[in-house]
Amino acid sequence: MVEINKASIARDQYRALMQVRWVLFKRSLRSKESVVLLVLRIIFWSIAGLFVLGICIGFGFATYLCVEKGRYGTLTGSLGLLMVIWQGYVLLRSTTSHNVSRELLRFPMRFRTYASLWTLSGIFDMPTILGGSLTLAIFMGALLADAPPIPALFAALSFFLLNVALSRTVLLWMEKLLAKRRIREVVVLLFSFVGFLPYLMRNYGKAIMHHLPQSLRNGMQWLPGSLFASALMRNSSAARVWSSAFALVLLTVVFASLVLLRLRTLYRGENLHEATDGPRTVQEKRKIHEKRLRQGGSSKVPAIVWENEFRKLWHNGSAMFQLVSPLLIVVFFGIRWAHSGPYLLPGATIYLSLDLGGKASNSLGADGPGAQVYRMAPVSMRDVMLGKNLATFTIYAAQMVALIAIAVFLSHIVPVFAVFSACFAMFALSVYFAMGNKTSLRRPVRIDAGKLDIQSLRAQRRARGANSWRTLVVLFGVPGFGAALLTLSAWYHMDWLMTAVMFACACVAAVLYKQQLASLDRIGAAEMETAINILSKTN
């Protein structure tokens, strides 16, 4: 074990990890679908890069004006908002060191190597790149306004490192908290109301700040955004500028120490997993489900599968959160766009279809190894997928009922747009089910429904709809088609004509779905075996 502390061993481990990542990347490009998906990602990142460049120019110019005119309060608010958005985006998307999993701890590796890999592996995530670019733009804008260069450099570098360390601190300690079931449920509830915070702060932020105690408002001057702004102001005293820069350095050291403390605990073998059912219990549950399928008959198989889907949903807090979150977003934007009138209902219906497509394209993902039951029991895959489609339809119908209630409360419903929404819902259901059934059987992606931690939430979001580039085209093409018809209806006032077109498309899609459902029994045994092997693999 003494040999793992040698620097040469660490360099070899870094080199081996890079080689493994490169080989995996090359092997992932063997299929045409992977190449097309890579090209689409390059195009997306190129467009995103131009967008980020525009934001950076805007932030740099705003910083220049604030430093030039001495607007300390405006600059402090902007930097505080940047930090909140940065940390919130990281927390909601769980951008952390996914490439360096705990599986690496099975191999002999010194702590410094493990900590370095864990920290650096997420340095090229979107929030880190965007936050670093904005920090650089703020620094350049301050320099153009004749801000003190050396303190500004220290402050900008410390502000960036502080946000990186803070994000990893939050994720590591959140993972520890989420290991307890009761706390997980509370966190899910809190996450459900995160979408309302921008609306509340925009309308009641000044009132809240006005009623805060003076001592608390004075303490807010030591927040990172206030310290960074103080270090950039050219009309501040040298003592205040340098003290603000060193305070940022001190905060960075504190949060980096917290990260190392948690990583040291993980390195020593801390186990955060809750006790799960043993192999015997899992096999007994599988046998009970298989027995019900055998005794139910072909007419009852869809109902049994439908019931099983809702049993899994009831015990999966992550899935419950994913069902509620789209409606919360609809409420948030509905409050802001209540003046849009009759377009709220069809627009929200189109938005909800995005979540519907993700569920339909990976119907077997949550079954995991339990999908073997459908192969062993004498049941038709047509009946199995019909039951899963009915479960997804029930969820979507419940969301639509809630959406109608929201539309009635926030706006008003026009009959023509209500018919348009119903036709689009029928069209989206038919297309997504027709596409998703075959995708679920041929390219399933396993979802660990038993976990509700930060990383598993992101993994589930990635798994839905990420099977192939064709899935992505259909996933975004359906709402795009609906949005195009709705836009034409608004521009040319052809409401009933666009509704008739949508009704015709819905009828055609329903016929195609019926034919596709009947063809599921012709799925080859080899394809089914491959799908089951994928779902049975353990991480």
- Nearest CA among 470, 503, 348 for reference residue 411: 348
| Length of the chain in terms of residues written | 539
535: number of Cβ within 10 Å: 20
d(CA 138, CA 231): 12
Q: Who contacts 371 (Cβ-Cβ below 8 Å, separation ≥6)?
A: 364, 444, 531, 532, 535, 536
- Nearest CA among 350, 351, 388 for reference residue 371: 388
What Å distances lie between residue 370 and 143, 365, 373, 477, CA to CA?
61, 10, 6, 32
d(CA 5, CA 121): 21
At 477 the three-state DSSP class reads helix
Contact (CB, 8 A) for 353 and 483: no
Query: What integer pLDDT is reported at residue 288 of this predicted model?
Result: 54
DSSP letter (8 states) at residue 275 = P
CA 438 and chain centroid, separation: 25
d(CA 104, CA 426): 47
Query: What integer pLDDT is reported at residue 314 of this predicted model?
Result: 66
d(CA 130, CA 123): 11
Domain ranges of the chain: 55-197+217-267, 280-536
Amino acid in position 160: F
Contact (CB, 8 A) for 425 and 340: no
Tens place of pLDDT for every residue, the chain, 539 residues?
556 666 667 777 778 777 877 887 788 777 777 788 788 888 888 888 888 899 899 888 988 888 888 888 788 888 888 888 888 777 666 544 444 555 666 667 777 777 777 777 767 777 888 888 999 999 998 888 888 888 888 888 999 998 888 888 877 777 776 666 666 656 666 665 655 565 566 665 666 666 666 666 666 677 888 888 888 887 777 888 888 888 888 988 998 888 888 888 877 776 655 544 444 454 555 555 555 555 555 557 788 888 877 777 766 555 555 566 666 666 655 555 555 567 778 888 888 888 787 778 777 777 777 777 777 766 777 888 888 888 888 888 888 887 787 777 776 677 888 899 899 999 999 999 888 888 877 777 776 654 544 444 444 444 444 455 677 778 888 888 988 988 888 788 888 888 899 999 999 999 999 888 888 777 766 677 777 777 776 55
Token pair of 520 as six digits? 């599921």
d(CA 502, CA 346): 12
- Nearest CA among 479, 498, 499 for reference residue 351: 479
Torsion angle, alpha carbons of 96, 97, 102, 106, to 10: -170
CA 340 and chain centroid, separation: 28
Q: Who contacts 335 (Cβ-Cβ below 8 Å, separation ≥6)?
A: 199, 410
d(CA 134, CA 142): 12
Q: Who contacts 332 (Cβ-Cβ below 8 Å, separation ≥6)?
A: 195, 196, 198, 199
493: number of Cβ within 10 Å: 10
Token pair of 530 as six digits? 């491959």
- Nearest CA among 487, 472, 199 for reference residue 346: 487
Query: What integer pLDDT is reported at residue 304 of this predicted model?
Result: 81
Token pair of 437 as six digits? 């059934």
